[in-house]
């Protein structure tokens, strides 16, 4: 039997703690948490209750250079690329929480690094790993809507959960709300349509959820419209003051020349309208999918961690490699730029 994948964790806030639990406990027998770098004493103590034998490091570099196979990076967004590049240079596999980066230059730098490395770098876009969202991909690929021409996402929910020193509220540190939050949805829509976004126009501002002073407060509502290289169109509507947590409403779908697919996440169903059939009533497709576990309860979260271990063991590129997911982050970054500059942005 192959030895366990030895893992180190940078950051154990809400998300990092969930990763620690899933890797150390749910992947038991295949992976073990052996090292931790974090600064909050209470969070460190909570993490040690899950994996009491972890070595503690005060500096990220010390953890990265220690005897590890893989590093899990759940630190603030602006640290993602520097830490990942350092870990890959040290010969470590990396599980990187999304987004890929917070600038286009960062994202492309990371892509180039992965092209020169034999290490696994997997981005934490868990939605792709859910049987539910994969079913929509499968239906589209099998022609359920004909040629897809439009895709949409509507997310009306409550505000961001608090983060250490409010880094998520500062666009210079998080990349902006569309980068931190909606890179998930952009990635999913790109994947469904198997297309690259070409240009985007977006509008957004902060109207309700003011947390930090000054001009760098992230938006709390936004809209974005974009066009793909193949001519298909996409739209996103976001509000972070629509519902109080934990209630969260997400609707996504695809419109093709012969039909429509729409999510019904509350019931783990997919609604399928086919042109000229059933007099307008949708076909209801029920999907067997695991409900989300860990922080946020997102679909695909439970399946993502064993997928990383498998990629490390086999050397195969994961479904959410940088090459596969960079376009979702680049679209989000361009949308934030469009809001600031009040112009249509072409995605290079």
What pLDDT is stored for residue 162 in this prediction?
82
Task: Determine whether domain 5-125+313-319 maps to CATH 3.40.1710.10.
Answer: no
pTM: 0.96
Do 54 and 26 touch, CB atoms closer than 8 A? no
Residue 25 CB neighbours (<10 A): 13
The CATH superfamily label for domain 127-303+325-346 reads Dihydrodipicolinate Reductase; domain 2 (3.30.360.10)
Predicted local distance difference test score (pLDDT) of residue 244 = 78
Q: Can you name the residues that pair with 249 across neighbouring β-strands?
A: 156
Residue 9: the pLDDT is 98
3-state secondary structure labels for all residues of the chain: CCCCEEEEEECCCHHHHHHHHHHHHHCCCCEEEEEEECCCHHHHHHHHHHCCCCEEECCHHHHHHCCCCEEEECCCHHHHHHHHHHHHHCCCEEEECCCCCCCHHHHHHHHHHHHCCCCCEEECCHHHHCHHHHHHHHHHHCCCCCCEEEEEEEEECCCCCCCHHHHHHEHHHHCCHHHHCCHHHHHHHHHHHCCCEEEEEEEEECCCCCCCCCCCECCCEEEEEEEECCCCEEEEEEECCCCCCCCCEEEEEEEECCEEEEEEHHHCEEEEEECCCHHHCCEEEECCCCCCCCHHHCCCHHHHHHHHHHHHHHCCCCCCCHHHHHHHHHHHHHHHHHHHHCCCEECC
Give, for all 348 residues of the chain, the pLDDT tens digit. Answer: 578 999 999 999 999 999 999 999 999 889 999 999 999 999 999 999 999 999 999 999 999 999 999 999 999 999 999 999 999 999 999 999 999 999 999 999 999 999 999 999 999 999 999 999 999 999 999 999 999 999 999 999 999 888 888 999 999 999 999 999 999 999 999 999 999 999 999 999 999 999 999 999 999 999 999 999 999 999 999 999 998 777 778 999 999 999 999 999 999 999 999 987 767 789 999 999 987 676 667 899 999 999 999 999 999 999 999 999 999 999 999 999 999 999 999 998
pLDDT at 56: 98
Residue 20 parent element (H or E): helix 14-21
Domain boundaries, the chain: 5-125+313-319, 127-303+325-346
The pLDDT score that the predictor gives to residue 307 is 98
pLDDT of residue 295: 63
Model pLDDT, residue 78: 97
């Amino acid at each position: 039997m192959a030895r366990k994948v030895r893992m180190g964790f940078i950051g154990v806030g809400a998300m990092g703690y969930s990763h620690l639990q899933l890797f150390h406990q749910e992947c038991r027998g295949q992976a073990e948490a052996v090292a931790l770098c974090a600064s909050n004493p209470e969070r460190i103590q909570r993490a040690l209750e899950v994996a009491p034998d972890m070595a503690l490091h005060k500096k990220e570099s010390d953890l990265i250079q220690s005897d590890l196979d893989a590093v899990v990076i759940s630190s603030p967004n602006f640290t993602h690329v520097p830490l990942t590049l350092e870990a890959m240079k040290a010969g470590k596999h990396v599980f990187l929480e999304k987004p890929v980066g917070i600038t286009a230059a960062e994202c492309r730098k990371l892509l180039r690094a992965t092209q020169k490395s034999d290490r696994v770098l997997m981005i934490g876009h868990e939605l792709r790993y859910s049987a539910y969202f994969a079913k929509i991909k499968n239906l589209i690929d099998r022609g359920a809507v004909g040629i897809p021409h439009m895709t949409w996402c509507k997310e009306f929910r409550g505000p961001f959960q608090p983060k250490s020193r409010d880094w998520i509220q500062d666009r210079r540190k998080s990349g902006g709300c569309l980068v931190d939050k909606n890179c998930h949805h952009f990635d999913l829509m790109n994947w469904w349509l198997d297309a690259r976004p070409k240009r985007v126009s977006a509008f957004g501002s902060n109207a309700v959820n003011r947390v930090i002073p000054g001009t760098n407060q992230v938006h709390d509502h936004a809209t974005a419209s974009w066009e793909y290289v193949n001519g298909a169109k996409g739209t996103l509507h976001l509000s972070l003051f629509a519902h109080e947590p934990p209630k969260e409403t997400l609707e996504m779908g695809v419109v093709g020349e012969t039909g429509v697919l729409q999510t019904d996440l509350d019931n783990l169903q997919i609604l399928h309208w086919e042109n000229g059939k059933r007099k307008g009533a949708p076909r209801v497709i029920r999907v067997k999918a695991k409900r989300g576990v860990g922080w946020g309860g997102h679909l695909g979260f439970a399946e993502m961690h064993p997928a990383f271990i498998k990629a490390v063991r086999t050397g195969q590129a994961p479904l959410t490699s940088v090459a596969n997911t960079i376009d979702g982050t680049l679209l989000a970054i361009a949308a934030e730029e469009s809001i600031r500059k009040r112009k249509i942005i072409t995605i290079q």
